Amino acid sequence: MNLNLEQPQDKRFVVDFWVTGKCDMECPFCYGADVPIKENQALVYHPTDETKMIAGSDKRRPEMSFEQTKDVILKLKNVGVDTLTFSGGEPLLRNETPSIIEFAHKHSMQIYLSTNGTYLLSKYSRIKNFISVLGLPLDGSNPEINIAMGRKAYHFKNIKNILEFFYNHPPNHILKVGTIVSKVNLDDIEAIGKFLFETVSFYSPDVWRLYQFESLKDGLATSDKYAVTDDEFLSVCDIVKKKFPINNISERSRSTHSNSYFFVTPDGMLQTVSDKHTSIADLLLTDENELKNIVEQQHSTVIKRASQNRNWLNSKNTNKTIP
């Protein structure tokens, strides 16, 4: 088990690191990283321009190189970040991601990996010893509802294969399944619980996290189709918490998202999020002292709330026995 439970999860300094904007899926509610442009394109950008647009175009600058990514990880570590959640886009679409994960692990960072699962089994042996938490999405108890939610047709089968794989090869890290609760799958949430916790040949996730649909970025255009009220969301969370025999089912409502996360974009901007993502520092250009001042002095609430958002990782809430 790579999870150091000596250090309370709610005291951690967690940053979500989008290593790439590329993804094999096109979920209509995605608020992950944008797809970067080709790496050899000539760039002109202004360091204080939060959108990081290339002058005269609507394209962002490309994702950081491997060397730049390592420098940024060390910079984050030196200002106190101890936990990185790697996501994207789909992080495992980037060939260097296993090496990035290994590098961060070697520098004593705790690693959470948030993946859509498409490439997981082919890369798992390379990363399994470096991650503490693996997060997978599942938005329906059958292929049709996953597709209606906007996932690709192959997604449901991939997740099934992964749960069967872990049943036969129990992971040494925490497995979290995340479900976006929306108007489309509201009546299916209980069935997802049955699928996860009552299928004999599946490894049951250690954590099930329910997310209230959020209209940000792409989700703004699909809000009418997906949005659920706070009451609808909390009531379905209540039902499944009572119904299923694990003590680690938790919810993240829309209201607890705001100012609760730091993101690093593929091109190296540190961002916070409220009703939109806002860049607060260019990690390639900001020195450590300045960065420390920005995060600790100006955004201490985000550090605290980002930690609290991982309360579901506290040892008393996980089913894992730590060797």
Using CB under 6 A, list all residues that contact ligand SF4.
Answer: 23, 25-27, 30, 32, 88-90, 116
Both structure tokens of 55: 């002058």
Q: Which residues of 185-212 are buried (b: 16+ CB within 10 A; e: fewer)?
A: bbebbeebbebbbeeeebbbbbbbbbbb
Q: How far is the CB of 30 from ligand SF4 (least distance, A)?
A: 3
Q: How far is the CB of 315 from ligand SF4 (least distance, A)?
A: 28
Cβ atoms of 176 and 5 within 8 Å: the answer is no
User: Does residue 66 sit in helix, strand or coil?
Assistant: helix
In the complex with ligand SF4, which residue's Cβ is closer, 3 or 93? 93
Q: How far is the CB of 203 from ligand SF4 (least distance, A)?
A: 21
In the complex with ligand SF4, which residue's Cβ is closer, 27 or 295? 27
In the complex with ligand SF4, which residue's Cβ is closer, 35 or 284? 35
Cβ atoms of 226 and 213 within 8 Å: the answer is yes
In the complex with ligand SF4, which residue's Cβ is closer, 159 or 269? 159
Q: How far is the CB of 221 from ligand SF4 (least distance, A)?
A: 14
In the complex with ligand SF4, which residue's Cβ is closer, 19 or 30? 30
- In whole angstroms, what is the distance from residue 249 CA to residue 245 CA? 9
Q: How far is the CB of 321 from ligand SF4 (least distance, A)?
A: 31
- In whole angstroms, what is the distance from residue 68 CA to residue 84 CA? 16
In the complex with ligand SF4, which residue's Cβ is closer, 90 or 251? 90
Phi-psi map region of 51: left, alpha, beta (phi>0 left; psi -120 to 50 alpha): alpha
Q: How far is the CB of 216 from ligand SF4 (least distance, A)?
A: 11
Give the ranges where the chain is alpha helix by DSSP (H).
66-78, 97-106, 120-127, 143-149, 155-168, 189-198, 223-226, 230-243, 288-292, 300-308
174 DSSP assignment: E
